[in-house]
A and B are shown apart, each in its own frame.
Chain A
Amino acid sequence: MANEHEIAASDDIRTGQMTPVRLGRSTIIVTRLPCGTLRAVSGRCPHMGANLQFGCITGMAQGPEYGKIEMTRENEVLRCPWHGFEFDLRTGDPAVPAPKAQAMKLRLYETREHDGRVYVSA
């Protein structure tokens, strides 16, 4: 059963920023989606285990036509520091479907805010 951990002040978890939190032997990345929702994900990339705190939070690149790039959903995508794989922070799903041989989804952790403090269940 997951234990709830108090990990930070609410004001310290900001949109577009990653806050790595050490819980036991694992690191969890905590951020805030633009809608205000907290998001806590595993700190290792499901592809090859890269430390995601060295990655970046960005948007989803869209290409309405050849040669035209539009950034959408700013601060809702996490890119791995190694291969640049993109993960949707709303769902944990990869932006590109995973190959059959690999599970490629970020693990999401339950979060809660209370009295200006952030709690993660892990």
Chain B
Amino acid sequence: MPLIDTDVHEGFAGIKDLVPYIEAPYKDWLAQGAWRGFSQPFAYTSPGNGNRADVQNEDGSASVSNPAMLKRDLLDEYDVTKAVLTGYFYPTGLKMQYDFASAMASAYNDMVAEKWLSFDPRFAGSIQVNARAPDAAAREIDRMAAHPQMIQVMLPIVDDIAYGHPYYRPIFAAAERNDLVVAFHHTVFAQGPYGMGLHYIERHSLIPLAIQGQVISLILNGVFDEFEKLRFIILEGGFSWLPHTLWRMDREYRQGRVEVPWIKKLPSQHAHERLKLATQPSEDMTTDQLLKVIDLIGTEDLLVFATDYPHFDFDDPDAAIPRSLPDGLRQKILWKNAADLYGFDIPDQHNRATAAE
């Protein structure tokens, strides 16, 4: 069976890896160590310090900067048909020096194109932007969309102005005119309603709440209506909360539509038509529980598979998506829904060859 992994974190060994790609004057800034890169405001508690402990570069660095290693450990190990690279270096996290952040996004994109996308045709890329400078982000999207392997725009979950705010509209307009998907992924600065909590376990449990806030913001501020062709994917934010969020928004829409009449459809209809959620980190549901959640979500076409390689909460496809699921549904989750989202042409011949497995 084909397999599409929608959340694979490529990286670099260190911020100085961007020096060859970044423009002046920021080339000197990075070369001279003027900025050391992002640092999370917490300590990881897993054996591999946030990564799977068995994933290490040869120099011992934790982030994955070696395409050959990723190919060996993920693409070949699991016979991945397509792996969507999502990064974990999000310049939007810089809350000042917007031009510097935008330049780093451009540099990172060039590095990914040169070092990763050219390495294996199974890799697909995410265009990184500095969302705090929406016009610059739009120009970067226009620039990188020309690369045939760039399939989406990555918007990292911010902790202040949610993405439904009109401020960000140029980014969505650029994604739409370039026929790109818009992806959302949590960050080391994403927050729950009361911050990150006091422990890593709280911070990690709160991530779905931060994601829910973004979904609510996007739909109820009319982003789905204004950009009718755009499709959206939520990565690493869970999915079992979706029935509640859709029911709640639908109810609110019935009673409060008069305030936001530019929203033309029930929020659940918008979500069913143009939103995907990645399954990782799976919540160890039984097959019966997973079927119930999907039934409550209201469509089999919404969930897509992700491993989150190389992070510690990695999902193995065979364990995370039970083999006892109905075959048609399992195929939708493991590849068909993502192929539909991204327009991947998965050869029919391959499907027939694997159908007898």
Q: Would you call B260 an interface residue if the criterion is a C-beta within 8 Å of the partner chain's C-beta atoms?
A: yes
Interface residues of B in 250-265 (CB under 8 A from A): 250, 253-263
Q: How far is the CA of A94 from the CA of B266 in the complex (A)?
A: 13
Interface residues of A in 59-105 (CB under 8 A from B): 61-69, 79, 83-86, 94-97, 99
Q: A66-B166, A66-B221, A66-B222 given as contacts; is B254 within 8 A of A85 (CB)?
A: yes
Q: Once the chains bind, are B257 and A61 in contact (CB under 8 Å)?
A: yes
Q: List 8 A-B pairs, minimum CB-CB distance, nearest first.
A: A63-B262, A63-B261, A61-B261, A83-B255, A61-B258, A84-B255, A96-B254, A66-B222
Contact of B262 among A64, A79, A83, A84 (CB under 8 A): A64
Q: How far is the CA of A28 from the CA of B257 in the complex (A)?
A: 26
- Cβ–Cβ < 8 Å partners of B273 in chain A: none
Counted as pairs of residues, one from A and one from B, with CB atoms less than 8 Å apart, the total is 42
- Cβ–Cβ < 8 Å partners of A85 in chain B: 254-255
Q: Would you call B99 an interface residue if the criterion is a C-beta within 8 Å of the partner chain's C-beta atoms?
A: no
The total of chain B residues at the interface (CB under 8 A) is 18
- Minimum Cβ distance to chain A for residue B20 (Å): 42
Q: How far is the CA of A97 from the CA of B250 in the complex (A)?
A: 10
- Minimum Cβ distance to chain B for residue A73 (Å): 12
A residues engaging B (CB < 8 A)?
61-69, 79, 83-86, 94-97, 99
Q: Once the chains bind, are B221 and A94 in contact (CB under 8 Å)?
A: no
Contact with A along B242-278 (1 / 0, CB 8 A): 0000000010011111111111001000000000000
**Nearest chain-A residue to B164 (Cβ)?**
A66
Interface residues of B in 290-321 (CB under 8 A from A): none
- Cβ–Cβ < 8 Å partners of A67 in chain B: 166, 262
* Apart from A68-B262, A85-B255, A94-B254, 7 more pairs, CB < 8 Å: A61-B258, A63-B262, A79-B258, A83-B254, A84-B256, A85-B254, A97-B266
Q: How far is the CA of A73 from the CA of B266 in the complex (A)?
A: 21
Q: Would you call B79 an interface residue if the criterion is a C-beta within 8 Å of the partner chain's C-beta atoms?
A: no
B residues engaging A (CB < 8 A)?
166, 221-222, 225-226, 250, 253-263, 266
- Cβ–Cβ < 8 Å partners of A69 in chain B: 258-259, 261
Q: Once the chains bind, are B266 and A63 in contact (CB under 8 Å)?
A: no
Q: How far is the CA of A96 from the CA of B251 in the complex (A)?
A: 10
Q: How far is the CA of A65 from the CA of B226 in the complex (A)?
A: 8
Q: A83-B255, A85-B255, A96-B257 given as contacts; is B250 within 8 A of A63 (CB)?
A: no
Q: Once the chains bind, are A86 and B258 in contact (CB under 8 Å)?
A: yes
Q: How far is the CA of A97 from the CA of B226 in the complex (A)?
A: 21
Contact of B257 among A65, A68, A86, A99 (CB under 8 A): A86
Q: Once the chains bind, are A99 and B255 in contact (CB under 8 Å)?
A: no
Q: How far is the CA of A62 from the CA of B225 in the complex (A)?
A: 13
- Cβ–Cβ < 8 Å partners of B222 in chain A: 63, 66
**Nearest chain-B residue to A68 (Cβ)?**
B262
Q: How far is the CA of A68 from the CA of B259 in the complex (A)?
A: 10
| Interface hub of A63, A65, A67 (most chain B Cβ within 10 A) | A63
- Minimum Cβ distance to chain B for residue A60 (Å): 8
**Nearest chain-B residue to A96 (Cβ)?**
B254
- Cβ–Cβ < 8 Å partners of B253 in chain A: 96
- Minimum Cβ distance to chain B for residue A95 (Å): 7
Q: Once the chains bind, are B258 and A84 in contact (CB under 8 Å)?
A: yes
- Cβ–Cβ < 8 Å partners of A61 in chain B: 257-258, 261
Contact of A66 among B258, B259, B262, B266 (CB under 8 A): B262
Q: How far is the CA of A83 from the CA of B261 in the complex (A)?
A: 17
